[in-house]
Amino acid sequence: MCMETTPWEDAVNFHGHTCPGLAIGYRVAEIALRELGVHRAGDEELVAIVENDSCAVDAIQSMTGCTMGKGNMLFRDHGKQVYTIGNRKNGEAVRIAIKVSALHSETENKHQRVHEVLDLPEDKFCTFSKVALELPGMARLFKSLECAECGESVAESRARVKDGKIVCIPCAGEYSRGWSK
């Protein structure tokens, strides 16, 4: 039995539901893969820089293979509907900005909205341009230290100093999200 799933179905399975945000990410990934002339990344040659943490990001993870865990998806907390996907092999990247008008709709119906996003002509959906891939400190491996308070490991780059001792962020009493850059 051979049940081939489409990239859209894969994205829905990965994300857990169908939604307009996922449809945005699906189109972004489709455009990026086409413009870069590549397929889903088997290894880490592709890199995605996402400027928000919406549902769209999951479609991009599913379709490009760029994930947080592999370190080839970088989250920049700008609250912008902008996605840059690049190829580390040749330094080529495409920066995709979703048009403000594409984010607004007359319909409240989620199913209709998904189809609106998927069917929107590309020039009404986004603008995109080729850019050079700039990746300071990609996938760096940081030394692990032991927190003086809880004894758990903390990456050197994220460690804090409290009363002269090296501690992790929770023990330092910082309650930010921690992982935004």
Cβ 41 to Zn ion, closest distance in Å? 22
- Check residue 147 for interaction with Zn ion (CB under 5 A): yes
Residue in 88, 83, 56 with CA at minimum distance from that of residue 72: 88
* Phi, psi (degrees; rounded to nearest 5) at 123: -75, -15
Burial of 83 (0-12, 13-18, 19+ CB in 10 A): buried
Cα 50 to Cα 35, 73, 76: the distances in Å are 17, 7, 6
**Contacting range for Zn ion; rule: CB under 5 A; set: 45-53, 82-90, 105-113, 141-149:** 141-149
When the beta carbons of 79 and 91 are compared against Zn ion, the nearer one is 79
Site for Zn ion in 159-178 (CB under 5 A): 168, 171
First to last CA, the chain: 45
When the beta carbons of 71 and 170 are compared against Zn ion, the nearer one is 170
Q: Which of 75, 135, 149, 160 binds Zn ion (CB under 5 A)?
A: 149
Residues engaged in binding Zn ion (CB under 5 A): 19, 21, 55, 147, 149-150, 168, 171
